[in-house]
């Protein structure tokens, strides 16, 4: 039976990528060794990391003013690295609270710097992207931090705030799923395990001057400048995860780049939201203008029906549809590797499930 993985992450990878990785797993190129066995300073892996970086720069149109870094620790480590590197001990950082992971970033920043939340949608259970009032932006702040897509609540920024200070974006769940203007941001970061690879590596795109801003003493491995100066090779990086990023970005280029991928992602989410609008049996709690193209959340008339939906979907080859434990419901994560066929299969199942249980 063909299985479609709707998990929020680690998420499904393109079939073509998995097949290529399988074929190269035990013997990469002419090395006679598996990619995980090769030295991170050897010629074979040097080609891999350089290809991954070149692909990312080409796909995202990243200028030489920015460095592309591969860091371990997930987005959660970035919650600490951002304030430690960008803010002095007497500085202030501004944040937008749009959900669970935004709140986690705020909590971590408060351990190191004065932190101000300038907009939040917590009072409406994070059903929208909160509006930023320009007057609330402080010119003296070190940066403004946003979370561009909120996996738990199914919300997403569809435009980004204009600000006179560096804009820092956690793009963990929509990184490289659409075209963005990198020059709008000071730092973009995100775990690979949604759209660009497996878990184990975090992609950080940082304006080079910000990597030099550090004004306090912190551990070497928490300094952005360590990664920039050493091309992410100061110590042994997560070589297999970076290899997979190289393969996924090869696949993205073969698909026609981010504009083509964005078009497919739009078609997938539009089809699913259109189905949700057809009936009261399924309800999406998100304001339409804030709906995520990556994580489509919805509720059924009862929790019992939701449990039944998840169970029967699994027997029909659709896994990972259970909503986050903090909110319940159903969540369909439709990242880059989810084909349109998977969404169509889900919609067909939704139709039959409603006929039997509505």
* Distance in angstroms between the alpha carbons of the first and the last residue of the chain: 27
CATH code of residue 270: 3.90.1150.10
pLDDT at residue 134, as a whole number? 83
Same structural domain for residues 203 and 75? yes
pLDDT at residue 139, as a whole number? 84
Whether the CB-CB separation of 170 and 212 falls below 8 Å is answered with no
Considering the entire predicted model, what is its pTM? Answer: 0.97
Same structural domain for residues 185 and 314? no
Residue 7 lies in a domain: no
pLDDT at residue 67, as a whole number? 98
Residues 146-198: tens digit of each pLDDT: 999 999 999 999 999 999 999 999 999 999 999 999 999 999 999 999 999 99
Q: What Å distances lie between residue 40 and 31, 48, 202, CA to CA?
A: 13, 10, 17
Task: Give the end of a domain, one of 234, 255, 276.
Answer: 255
Is 101 labeled as catalytic in the residue annotation? yes
Same structural domain for residues 204 and 333? no
Residue 1 scores a pLDDT above 90 = no
Residue 4 lies in a domain: no
Same structural domain for residues 137 and 245? yes
Same structural domain for residues 273 and 233? no
Give me 201's structure tokens. Answer: 């590596």
Determine which one of 101, 174, 251, 322 is catalytic. 101
Domain count, the chain: 2
Residue 242 scores a pLDDT above 90 = yes
Same structural domain for residues 211 and 300? no
CATH code of residue 21: 3.40.640.10
Task: Give the end of a domain, one of 229, 255, 281.
Answer: 255
Determine which one of 61, 110, 122, 170 is catalytic. 170
Domain, as residue range, for 51: 15-255
Q: What Å distances lie between residue 37 and 235, 240, 247, 250, CA to CA?
A: 16, 9, 17, 22
Same structural domain for residues 131 and 224? yes
| Model confidence band, residue 138 (pLDDT cutoffs 50, 70, 90) | confident
Is 209 labeled as catalytic in the residue annotation? no
Residue 298 lies in a domain: yes
pLDDT at residue 136, as a whole number? 82
pLDDT at residue 50, as a whole number? 98
Determine which one of 30, 64, 65, 194 is catalytic. 194
Q: What does the mean pLDDT of the chain come to?
A: 96
| pLDDT (mean) for 255-274 | 98
Residues 84-126: tens digit of each pLDDT: 999 988 889 999 999 999 999 999 999 999 999 999 999 999 9
């Amino acid at each position: 039976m063909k299985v479609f993985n709707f998990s929020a992450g680690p998420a499904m990878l393109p079939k073509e990528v998995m097949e290529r990785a399988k074929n190269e797993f035990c013997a990469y190129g002419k090395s006679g060794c598996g990619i995980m066995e090769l030295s991170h300073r050897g010629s074979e892996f040097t080609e891999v990391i350089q290809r991954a970086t070149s692909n990312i720069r080409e796909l995202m149109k990243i200028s030489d003013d920015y460095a592309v870094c591969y860091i371990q620790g997930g987005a959660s480590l970035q919650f600490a690295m951002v304030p430690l590197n960008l803010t002095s001990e007497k500085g202030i950082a501004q944040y937008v609270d749009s959900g669970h992971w935004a709140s986690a970033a705020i909590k971590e920043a408060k351990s190191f710097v004065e932190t101000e939340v300038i907009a939040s949608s917590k009072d409406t259970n994070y059903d929208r992207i909160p509006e930023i009032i320009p007057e609330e932006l402080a010119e003296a702040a070190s940066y403004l931090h946003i979370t561009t897509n909120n996996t738990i609540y199914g919300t997403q920024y569809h435009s980004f705030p204009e600000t006179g200070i560096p804009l820092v974006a956690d793009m963990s769940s929509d990184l490289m799923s659409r075209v963005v203007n990198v020059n709008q941001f000071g730092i973009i970061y995100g775990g690979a395990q949604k759209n660009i690879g497996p878990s184990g590596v975090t992609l950080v795109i940082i304006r080079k001057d910000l990597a030099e801003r550090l004004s306090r003493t912190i551990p070497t491995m928490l300094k952005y400048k360590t990664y920039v100066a050493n091309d992410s090779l100061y110590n042994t990086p997560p070589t297999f995860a970076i290899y997979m990023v190289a393969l996924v970005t090869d696949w993205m280029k073969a698909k026609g780049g981010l504009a083509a991928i964005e078009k497919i992602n739009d078609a997938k989410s539009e089809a699913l939201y259109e189905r949700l609008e057809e009936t009261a049996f399924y309800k999406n709690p998100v304001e339409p203008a804030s709906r995520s193209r990556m994580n489509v959340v919805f509720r059924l008339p009862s929790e019992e029906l939701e449990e039944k939906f998840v169970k029967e979907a699994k027997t029909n080859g659709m896994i990972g549809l259970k909503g986050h434990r903090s909110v319940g419901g159903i969540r369909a994560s439709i990242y880059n590797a989810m084909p349109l066929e998977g969404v169509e299969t889900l919609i067909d199942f939704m139709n039959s499930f409603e006929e039997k249980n509505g």
